[in-house]
Structure 1
Amino acid sequence: MTWFAPPRHPSSPDARGALVRVLSADRGRTAGAGVYLSGRRLLTCAHVINAALGLRSLSPHNPGKITLDVSFPVRSASELHPARLVAWIPPRSPQFGPVADGSLEWDGDLAVLELDAEPPPPVGPVRWLEMEHGQRVRAWYGGGQPFSYADARVGAYDGRICYLDGQLSGAAVDEGYSGGPLWSVTDEAVVGLVMGRITAPDGALSAQHTVRRSWGLGWQSVLWELARVGAAPDGRRNGARERPTATLAEAESVRDMMVGPLHGLLGDPRARADHATVLAAQLALRAPADGSAPTVEELAGLLSTTERALPTLTESLAAKVADDPRGRAELDRLLALGRLTEAARLLSVAEHRALTGKLEHLTQDDPGLLPRAATAALPYVDLPRSLQAARLAPSAVPAVVHELEGWSGDGSPVPEETPRLPALLRVVEYVAAGTSGELARQALREWSGRVAARLGIHASALQERRGDADRWSRRAAPTGVRLLVELDRYAKDPADHYRCSVWRLRPDGSPARVASESDRPRDGREIARLIREVAGGAEGAEDGVALVAVSVPPDALELALDEWDGAGTDEYIPAPLGEDFHLVLRCPRIRRRSRTGPADLRRRWNARHHSDILLADHRIGGRAGLIGLLKTTHRDTARVLVQGSSEHRGELLPVCLVMGVPVVLWDRASPGPAGGGRLDALAPHGPVDELPERVRHFRVRAYADQAVSARPALVWEDAGMPLPDELQLADPSEGTERTG
């Protein structure tokens, strides 16, 4: 027994909390068992997949992109979850050939399944340990019935497969057990997987016959097989992640290097015992109550392999070395070593708990805050998929924090060679700046200040990033009403008539449907009147000029909808949409044809303040020339001014949209190359965020002056604004605000 012992869980005393039932394709029977690894991934045997599909049990052929239903007996045998096959390790003979029917043992035979989402509580990961000869293990039938347990002892293990000798009383390992976990009762951990049974021959038994002998793969063998195909998972200890197997050697090296600074910091056994006892409690481990201390080597082993152990220890050590430069140097050395092992993570247990709680609460109130803040804080990196959406569910916060923890610090200079501010802390500062609650802002900033101090980050570095976040918040704060409009038409609809839906964006960025006129086609005047009524009746209508972002079909990009006049017959002054609103265009159907998804759009949008405008006229070399420029010297260009005839524009506009250019300006009334310069009055090269307002001013003058024939059209794709097909999460109660 080591000094740091795993906890006892009265509510989940064994591996059944991670047991998986794999159903046959027709859902009529249990094909076998499996075990939950972590995240969304499950592990079972390849021959269980074959059995579920009705194939030959030991067939080596990959069944491809198949989906099976699984359930978690600890939760409900009838609650089914689809799981996709994502890794296949076929059964094979020791000579790497096919396995003949009737074989008693074989290698490989593993499969990894992936769920659409992480499983619900109380399903959870288990602790994994290496298999050893003599361990007492327990297995369960895939259905998880409490009476189905089968006890055995590891009679032999050669580092490849293990032989399990079962008791003569109780259940025996049989069909439906394959793929399930082998639970070591003494170690309270999973040490391998059930693979098969060795059956006695037909006829009467003799003293030489094998009775109740089965076999399996030890955890060492499982990890080796998974690592060989790039599917090695994160190990788990007490629910905390460890280093992937492929880097265990690196973790051992880091462990050895940690011994030195630990001796300097905790060479006194009494101090080591005090800090280790606190650490064990934070990690939910058991510590001896006899006042003893772990060895420095054992403590280093825990820090290098157990998630959050290192930052949790340094959290208690930071106060001890606050006025001790030598101790602080040793602590910084320990933290630097931690950055070499993924298991350490960035945050302590308490820091992680506090941050996820705060962000989940803020996300509940403002689902768009964290994606907006992360996009602004990290403009030059590809954010995780969850942060690319316009809205984030509170349940996604832990996964987002976990991923951001692993990202390195920003590239801004720091004083005196102190550590750089980690990406996660930068995002937290932007979230704090972007929230409207003063108490929430103060709590987040106090949290980041404490973490920065523990990490040894210079106070001026944190203040500089905080200033960046404040400036972003002031610039990004929306003014006035923001409306999303979708225009569409059916083949039999009259010309110049469209079906229209309107959403209003709340202050938190979430959409509310306020009008749907898709039941019949409407002309431009009716649609303009509807938009005016919605914008005028919305909360905040008195604050600034409303932004109206209209999603149009590809053939409507040249539509003169800015001239649609919604004034009533009794109104004295005309009211074209382009005069009263920041009227901009979007074209989701073309955007979706991008191979890179939102990545290009987000990168270019974030670079809009410092990238140059690209003039796409007759000298650019047509479609091919524009593609080449946007892929090379203008990879971050956010603005393109298209000049030329309607045919020229029809060739280049789709290129801009597909390649993620968020701001595209052109004169839809331009006669051709000779029309260059007709839009100079609206200063296309000026401050980009003021461009919609300059376009509005230009339109007001153009509509009043017959000598001005230019008619500017502006595509404006704010990367943080949702598209119509992303608005299913709108509050149904808002649908009663019908105004037209």
Structure 2
Amino acid sequence: MGWFKAPGADPSADARGALVRVLSADRAHTAGAGVYLAGRRLLTCAHVVNAALGLRMLSPRDPGAVTLDVSFPALAAGARQARLVAWVPPRAAHHQGPVADGSLEWGGDLAVLELDEEPPPPVGPVRWLDMRAGQLVRAWYGGGQPFSYADVQVGSCDGRIGYLDGQLSGAAVDDGYSGGPLWSPADGAAVGLVMGRITAPGGAFDTQHTVRRSWGLTWQSVRQELVRVGAAPDPGARAGGAVEADDSVRDMMVGPLHILLGEPTLRAAHSTALGAALGLHTRADGTAPPVEELAHLLCTAERALPTLAESLAPSLDSRGRAQLDRLLALGRLTDAAGLLSIAEHRGLLAKLDHLTRQDPGLLPRAATAALPYVELPRSLTAARLAPEDVPGAVRELEEWPGDGSPVPEETPRLPALLRVVEYAAAETGGIACQALQDWSGRVAARLGVHASALGERRADAARWSDRSAGTGVRVLVELSRHPKDPADHYRCSVWRMRADGTAARTAVEAERPRTGREIARLVREVAGGAEGAGQSVALVAVSVAPDALHLPVDEWDGAGPDEYVPAPLGEDFHLVLRCPQIRRRSRTGAGDLKRRWSARHRSEPLIADHRISDETELVALLKTTHRDTARVLVDGPPGRRTQLLRFCLAMGVPIVLWDRAAGEGGGAVPLDPPHGPGLHGPVDELPEKVRHFRVRAYMDPRVPVRPALVWEDAELPLPDELQLADPSEGTDHAI
């Protein structure tokens, strides 16, 4: 590799491009140093954080999600804010416990910070290698001044700690150096972090005392600690070094590259731009890199191929487009290429980070709707996605192939990631929607996706968003009991879901046990005061404990003392039950629920009656012939019915119907048509069918049936997953 050079390959280059200055709380002085890892993350020492906060230097106590002022002193002026996201406390060197005062060395002592925004473009990650004895390394003061460098040699290294000896000339490692990278110019890599210095004891100096000896943590021990706390940098990032090239793939790339960039001047121009995007040095002598070297770079440098394609695509004719498509297809055979260019990836992360902070449920909802037949990554199976998990989710989505829908003229299929982005855009609306769609359109054009294919998926997303937006009033209720509560009294919390997905909690005395009548009145008031009340029947979803699935919540009457007409909740609302505690006891429960819920319109219902001998047979059916079944009707005597019901919920069945009043012989009046609501027909009509049946059953004493319905809408958050609205906006009712 001669035309492209990594910064570390230049003997004059160093790690100051990744050096971080950690400021004191008053910004008056430098608390210490740090180093840029990747993304928005920075690495420093825990004792540097303590120093910045004015705490005892080696205090092991986690200060929490504090925010510090940091800067990149060598490359960018001005301070930025970074939040503490991972804490490895200082601990005694050879055992767990606090570090004693006066200790010369210790373990742990790491902190990971996350910037509020992307670092400025000149900042880039360093390459990391393991430390070894004999290496000549350089450290810098946190202020980043060029003259502050201190050159030392690794005199001894046990894999955990490296002892560093300096010459009696030049600067010495001192206060303010802690947390900074130990840079090996010969290797072009950082090999550890500065930790502390070993000073001579007090009193008169003796020639036998240690002079200019300091110590640092080796990269191998730092990496182990970061892995333990889940904060290790992505091994696929550029900081981790090059990916091994597949010689056969590299050789196959040479032909298309000759056709696309055979002219040296054109190849030099595109290669210079590519090198700048990758943070590589390139020659400025008018030469162009050999095609073979360019092919090697495309196979080994992360996002190099899509970044080159981004600059090539706008000017290509049909012949050139075919060669670029061939290159991109070859790139899928490597570990380095990726789907997005560096600029595309950075732009998407910025947009999604902002949207996720506003609506943590946006990406999981969009991914579930856009990819109903795909087993989503773990980060997208939860109801909420944290901003720090966005990069990992995007990386996983990048690896999935295009959708299975037909495309015109043998053009590429729309990638799964772009389909999710389209659904997120449709759900967002406004300027944010336009920004995401513009991004998606540019990437699709660069990939050669036909405009009609993108338009069809965009229309699908719009239809989904329109359908999900018209869900009407939704009220969530959570019931619980304390051991000393009076019989038939329950603790109650109530939320009203807003159209934007936020939840408004009613201002109630949540700690007071209430009767069923009191709870029913509260629910009626909350639902009746919601925007759009009266336009359609409201959904009231009640979360209960496993032993409360038998509660007659639907019969609780919320009519006031002066009202003529009774008002059982089950008559006026789509009263459904939820029991997440059972599902959470299953390792696969969350994934099962999402899969079955997505298949609810096409899967056939299952009748669990006397023909199913026991729960073992039920489990076997739900794992095999009814793996996607979303609807189960449970019948039989109370004990057996309860057991089958719980197994259904544990296996993620979202819709379960049973007769709460059925005795030992099972239901006297079957729940199947023509007498009962049944499970057949359009799924979304079932809550209304159950409500109609309840109205008739409550009025006719000859109908002893009391249908209970579990309705676990995978797109409706549970109480402990709610995104709460701003309390300053007020609530509808106070009791």
TM-score scaled by length of structure 2: 0.77
Counterpart of 2:322, as a letter, is A
Instruction: Map 1:64-463 onto structure 2 (within 5 A).
Output: 82-83=86-87, 118=114, 126-128=125-127, 137-139=137-139, 150-152=150-152, 166-170=166-170, 181-184=181-184, 189-190=189-190, 234=234, 241-242=237-238, 248-250=243-245, 254-283=249-278, 285=280, 287-321=282-316, 323-325=317-319, 327-392=320-385, 396-437=389-430, 439-463=431-455
Query: 1:242, 1:343 within 8 Å by CA — same for their partners in 2?
Result: no
CA distance in 2, matches of 1:304, 1:221: 30
281-290 vs 11-20, which moves further = 11-20
CA distance in 1, matches of 2:641, 2:315: 67
2:721 aligned residue (700, 711, 726): 726
Query: 2:83, 2:115 within 8 Å by CA — same for their partners in 1?
Result: no
Counterpart of 2:612, as a letter, is I
> Post-superposition shift, 1:414?
3.9
For residue 601 of structure 1, what is the aligned residue in structure 2?
593
Counterpart of 1:128, as a letter, is R
> Post-superposition shift, 1:595?
2.2
Query: 2:86, 2:231 within 8 Å by CA — same for their partners in 1?
Result: no
Indicate yes or no: 2:20 matched with 1:17: yes
Counterpart of 2:182, as a letter, is L
> Post-superposition shift, 1:359?
3.3
For residue 654 of structure 2, what is the aligned residue in structure 1?
662
> Post-superposition shift, 1:194?
8.0
Per the alignment, in what secondary structure is the counterpart of residue 673 of structure 1?
coil
Query: 1:44, 1:179 within 8 Å by CA — same for their partners in 2?
Result: yes
> Post-superposition shift, 1:693?
1.3
Per the alignment, in what secondary structure is the counterpart of residue 635 of structure 1?
coil
Per the alignment, in what secondary structure is the counterpart of residue 440 of structure 2?
helix
CA distance in 1, matches of 2:602, 2:171: 71
CA distance in 1, matches of 2:689, 2:611: 27
For residue 53 of structure 2, what is the aligned residue in structure 1?
none
> Post-superposition shift, 1:421?
1.9
Per the alignment, in what secondary structure is the counterpart of residue 640 of structure 2?
helix
Counterpart of 1:352, as a letter, is H
Per the alignment, in what secondary structure is the counterpart of residue 710 of structure 2?
strand
> Post-superposition shift, 1:384?
3.4
526-535 vs 455-464, which moves further = 455-464
**Alignment CA distance shift 1:505-1:197 (3 Å):** closer
C-alpha offsets along residues 465-504 of structure 1, whole Å, 9 cap, x if unaligned? 3343233233323332111011122222222222211101
> Post-superposition shift, 1:335?
0.7
Query: 1:74, 1:144 within 8 Å by CA — same for their partners in 2?
Result: no
For residue 500 of structure 1, what is the aligned residue in structure 2?
492
Per the alignment, in what secondary structure is the counterpart of residue 243 of structure 2?
helix
Gaps of 5+ in 2: 24-30, 46-59, 72-79, 95-105, 200-204
CA distance in 2, matches of 1:564, 1:432: 41
1-10 vs 480-489, which moves further = 1-10
Counterpart of 1:242, as a letter, is R
Counterpart of 1:368, as a letter, is G
Per the alignment, in what secondary structure is the counterpart of residue 575 of structure 2?
strand
For residue 524 of structure 1, what is the aligned residue in structure 2?
516
CA distance in 2, matches of 1:214, 1:396: 37
> Post-superposition shift, 1:151?
0.6
Indicate yes or no: 2:702 matched with 1:707: yes
CA distance in 1, matches of 2:356, 2:175: 46
Instruction: Map 1:462-477 onto structure 2 (within 5 A).
Output: 462-477=454-469
CA distance in 1, matches of 2:637, 2:358: 48
> Post-superposition shift, 1:662?
1.0
Per the alignment, in what secondary structure is the counterpart of residue 610 of structure 2?
coil
Per the alignment, in what secondary structure is the counterpart of residue 601 of structure 1?
helix
For residue 553 of structure 1, what is the aligned residue in structure 2?
545
Gaps of 5+ in 1: 21-29, 46-65, 91-108
Indicate yes or no: 2:572 matched with 1:580: yes
Per the alignment, in what secondary structure is the counterpart of residue 548 of structure 1?
strand
C-alpha offsets along residues 26-57 of structure 1, whole Å, 9 cap, x if unaligned? xxxx9x99966547999999xxxxxxxxxxxx
Counterpart of 1:17, as a letter, is V
C-alpha offsets along residues 179-215 of structure 1, whole Å, 9 cap, x if unaligned? 974324598753667899999xxx9999xxx998999
For residue 686 of structure 1, what is the aligned residue in structure 2?
681
Counterpart of 1:703, as a letter, is Y
Query: 2:608, 2:618 within 8 Å by CA — same for their partners in 1?
Result: yes
For residue 56 of structure 1, what is the aligned residue in structure 2?
none
Query: 1:646, 1:670 within 8 Å by CA — same for their partners in 2?
Result: yes
Counterpart of 1:661, as a letter, is V
CA distance in 1, matches of 2:548, 2:114: 42
Query: 1:484, 1:550 within 8 Å by CA — same for their partners in 2?
Result: yes
Per the alignment, in what secondary structure is the counterpart of residue 512 of structure 2?
strand
CA distance in 2, matches of 1:328, 1:695: 57
**Alignment CA distance shift 1:735-1:623 (3 Å):** farther
CA distance in 2, matches of 1:152, 1:141: 14
Counterpart of 1:580, as a letter, is D
Counterpart of 2:362, as a letter, is L
> Post-superposition shift, 1:645?
1.7
Counterpart of 1:419, as a letter, is P
Query: 1:38, 1:125 within 8 Å by CA — same for their partners in 2?
Result: yes
C-alpha offsets along residues 211-241 of structure 1, whole Å, 9 cap, x if unaligned? 98999999899999999xx9996458xxxx2
Query: 1:33, 1:176 within 8 Å by CA — same for their partners in 2?
Result: yes
CA distance in 1, matches of 2:110, 2:129: 23
CA distance in 1, matches of 2:436, 2:715: 23
> Post-superposition shift, 1:610?
1.6
Counterpart of 1:478, as a letter, is G
Query: 1:263, 1:296 within 8 Å by CA — same for their partners in 2?
Result: yes
CA distance in 2, matches of 1:436, 1:44: 40
* RMSD, aligned α-carbons: 5.0
CA distance in 1, matches of 2:376, 2:84: 31
**Alignment CA distance shift 1:118-1:603 (3 Å):** farther
CA distance in 2, matches of 1:532, 1:225: 53
> Post-superposition shift, 1:626?
1.8
692-701 vs 589-598, which moves further = 589-598
Percent of aligned positions with the same letter in both sequences? 66
390-399 vs 676-685, which moves further = 390-399
For residue 94 of structure 1, what is the aligned residue in structure 2?
none
Counterpart of 1:733, as a letter, is S
1:621 aligned residue (613, 628, 637): 613
TM-score scaled by length of structure 1: 0.76
> Post-superposition shift, 1:293?
2.7
CA distance in 2, matches of 1:630, 1:196: 60
> Post-superposition shift, 1:429?
1.8
Query: 1:363, 1:392 within 8 Å by CA — same for their partners in 2?
Result: yes
C-alpha offsets along residues 577-636 of structure 1, whole Å, 9 cap, x if unaligned? 111111100123323322235222112211212222111112212222222222333222
For residue 61 of structure 1, what is the aligned residue in structure 2?
none
